[in-house]
Chains A and B, each alone.
Chain A
Amino acid sequence: MSALLAILWKDLVSEWRSRDRLVAMGVFALLVVIVLYLAAPPGGGPEARAHVPGLLWVAWSFAGVLGLNRAFASELENEALSVLALAPVDRGFVFLGKALASFVLLLLVQAASALAFALAFDLDLRPVAGRLAGVAALGAAGLCTLGTLFSAIAVRTQYREVMLPLLLLPLLVPVLLGAVRATQALLLEGTLPWPALQLLLVTDGVFAIVSFLCFEVVLDE
């Protein structure tokens, strides 16, 4: 448990000092918002607004993948990854620390880009802000657990920046579908459908357990 907190603290402090991941993810998410706005039907009417839930998750998952790509890149310098693997703690907690750090960063980016979406598409998110944050967090949790596992794999392959989305996106379908359905109902009707939440909760649980167990094997060098 203390290993988890130590890794989380280390990642967040080093991110606070350089701020490179956060800035890159934030700027990228903003650019995606602009591109999506330009690609949507002109005028930003109800037709364009109906697509916002899906577009939000496009921006969030792309920004998440961008951030996850860097999650282990810094650990390659000075063989830090091998030291992490040699640390006399359960590697599952190393995994949880790394995943939590990515999760916190993604939440910040999600909040900022939701604001950008609200401004661009003229949406009033205030009445649903709390519930939207909950759905965003559930989606981000699934993205970051499986993403951290595959990031640890992709970082040690050739073309690592290309490899992560190829590995991750086909397996993220349950999380993305659940999250988009829940966000759709929330933004268009103001309700939270239980089946979509159920899918998100179960998927998050399965992803967390599977990644926790497999991380041990992935670090085994």
Chain B
Amino acid sequence: MTQSTSLPRLTAAALGVSALLWAFFVWRAPIDAMQGPIQKILYIHVPCVVGAYLGFFLTAGASGVYLWRRGERADRFAAAAAEVGVLFCTLVLLTGPIWAKGTWGRWWTWDLRLTLTLLLYLIYVSYLLLRSFTEGSERAARFSAVYAVVGVLLIPLNYWAIDLAGGRTVHPENLGRGSLGAGMGAPFALGMLTAVAAFAHLLVRRLEVGALRAERERLDAEALRREA
């Protein structure tokens, strides 16, 4: 049990340290000359994208492992990663429009990346609904694993389709290539680190909950057998 109690402490400590540093550097970062203070939302928005996509790809990977090996742990990992990923994606879809309203003058546009992220969000919300509406843990695991794998396989097709439909790309380009002003690199980098630490911490805690639930189910089944 030592491993299971020390790991959350480790991730919590990492999260605390990086969050403090991140907040300090965001506070110190210069105000953007063109966009004004609203640009600082991006220090939250961009790192949350990392958390969201991390969650979705880990879910698909764990689902693939589940379909291959049929291990219960892979399934619990997939469920935990999906829940944490949806949480981060919700933050992405909340912070993005606030920034867009201030900069583009509108809350939403049917841009390639915006549409793709919204679709991926809906796919993973459906994934969580499928899990909760399926009775029997083995069946829920199998169905949701198939859905997660299909969902990720179809991302390139969605990308192609939205591109064809002429989604104007107004979303800023990826970071790097010297697009950041002086003093803006550190808060972004620390934001990414904080997002990864927060993701890891939430994932570890959610895995604990999953393990406890599985343990309770096992004890319930055992008690039923003893009664019978």
Among the listed stretches A4-12, A20-28, A107-115, A159-167, which one makes contact with chain B, having 4 or more residues with CB under 8 Å of it? Answer: A159-167
B153 interface neighbour in A150, A170, A210, A220, Cβ under 8 Å = A210
Whether A163 pairs with B165 at a CB distance below 8 angstroms is no
B151 CB to nearest chain A CB (Å): 7
Q: Chain B interface residue count: which class?
A: 20 to 34
Residues of A within 8 A of B143 (CB): 153, 156-157, 218
Q: How far is the CA of A16 from the CA of B11 in the complex (A)?
A: 62
Residues on A with C-beta less than 8 A from B162 are: 173, 177
Which of B44-52, B72-80, B126-134, B181-189 lines the interface with chain A?
B126-134
Give B84-126 as 1s and 0s: 1 = Cβ < 8 Å from A's Cβ atoms.
Answer: 0000000000000000000000000000000000010011001
- What is the interface of chain B, defined by CB distance below 8 A to chain A? 67, 119, 122-123, 126, 129-130, 133-135, 139, 142-143, 145-147, 149-151, 153-154, 157-158, 160-162, 164-165
- Whether the Cβ atoms of A171 and B142 lie closer than 8 Å is no
A157 touches B119 (CB 8 A): no
Q: Mark A22-39, 1 if CB is under 8 A from B, else 0.
A: 000000000000000000
- Which residues of A from 171 to 202 have beta carbons under 8 Å from B? 171, 173-174, 177-178, 181, 195-196, 199, 202
* CB–CB A177/B129 < 8 A: no
Count A interface residues, CB 8 Å.
30
For B158, give its contact among A173, A195, A218 (CB under 8 Å).
A173
Decide if the interface of chain A is mainly helix, strand, loop or mixed. Answer: helix
Q: A174-B160, A177-B161, A178-B164 are in contact. Are A210 and B122 (CB under 8 A)?
A: no
B164, A181: Cβ atoms under 8 Å?
yes
Inter-chain CA distance A178–B154, complex, in Å, is 14
Q: Which residues of B contact A203 (CB under 8 A)?
A: 157, 161
Q: Assess the A157–B164 pair: CB atoms within 8 A.
A: no
